Amino acid sequence: MAEIITAKSAGFCFGVQRAVETVYEEVKKGGPIYTYGPIIHNEEVVADLEKKGVHVIASDEELADIHGGTIITRSHGISREEDEKLRATGAKCVDATCPFVKRIHRIVEENSAEGYEIVIIGNPVHPEVRGIMGWSSVPVTVIENTEQAREFIEQKTPGQTSASDQRNICVVSQTTFNANKFEEIIAILTEKGYNVRCMNTICNATHERQTEAKAIASKADIMIVIGGRSSSNSAKLYEICKRECANTYFIQTWRDLNLSPAGNEQIIGITAGASTPKNIIEEVQNYVRADF
């Protein structure tokens, strides 16, 4: 019998788990329930919630039609303006922003109020970054790579008379940003001796999931990665595992599994992307257990 190893970090991170549980708890309390955008990028979970009467608000027009009930925000947070917009509907607002993201909102709010320039290291179109930007009272610069960091550090801030003037800069990062790239960018931003308050706000969940997946795949005869077709973090997990184990499968549910065991497999590894619910992981585990 082969040993089945399921990664402890497979599936939902703390923040997503918390947000999804919040919605189920609100459903129990009753009344019209809305989520501001899909609570998670997993069609099965969203469909299940829909069956329970949870409606996804997809546009400003839909929001304008809401005058009561409960609106729940997503784990990656919203801007201050959106927050105000939701409150203006008169609905009860339940903030399911991940506490790690909320902390970044506070840092940006406080430091911009103190007159610091705000830099976010991350992807400028990601909803988490858009949300963070919205808590600053000064214009924000989003930096994705070392070239942009260099450009930024060479600029003069408005009102400066010479490039040697001191600048006060507060730097935060998108929670899922790559730690090595973050260090490289910080090295450039601190080069000129400006007053740089650097807050590493990267969340370890993604890194831990990837490190554990790699370790399991390196000893597995078969590795299974469960995740949504359009989930980029799942695709990344697959890529990491495939490098370690040629027999790596990328599936959405157990139904996609088409294994042909050679009979001498010792270890079967399982991991899952950030938006894969526990029950889907368990179903795959049970299915595999029956085969090996």
Write out the residues near ligand F3S by the rule CB under 6 A.
13-16, 75, 98, 100-101, 175-176, 203, 205-206
Residue 162's Cβ-count burial label (10 Å; 0-12, 13-18, 19+) is exposed
CB of 40 to ligand F3S, least distance (A): 10
Helix (H) or strand (E) holding 211: helix 204-219
Q: Pick between residue 107 and residue 222 the one whose CB is nearest to ligand F3S.
A: 107
* Cβ partners under 8 Å of residue 75, min gap 6: 15, 16, 18, 19, 39, 40, 96, 97, 98, 101
Q: Pick between residue 15 and residue 227 the one whose CB is nearest to ligand F3S.
A: 15
Residue nearest to ligand F3S according to CB distances in the complex: 15
80's tokens: 């201050």
Given 26, 117, 128, 212, the catalytic residue: 128
CB of 73 to ligand F3S, least distance (A): 12
- 128 as an active site residue: the answer is yes
Question: How far is the C-alpha of 87 from the C-alpha of 172, rounded, in Å?
Answer: 27
Question: How far is the C-alpha of 74 from the C-alpha of 96, rounded, in Å?
Answer: 6
Q: Pick between residue 141 and residue 176 the one whose CB is nearest to ligand F3S.
A: 176
CB of 160 to ligand F3S, least distance (A): 35
* Cβ partners under 8 Å of residue 170, min gap 6: 107, 108, 111, 112, 116, 117, 118, 119, 196, 197, 199
Give the three-state DSSP class for 55.
strand
Instruction: Compute and round to an integer the Cα radius of gyration of the chain.
Output: 22
Q: Pick between residue 203 and residue 220 the one whose CB is nearest to ligand F3S.
A: 203
The residues assigned a catalytic role are 128
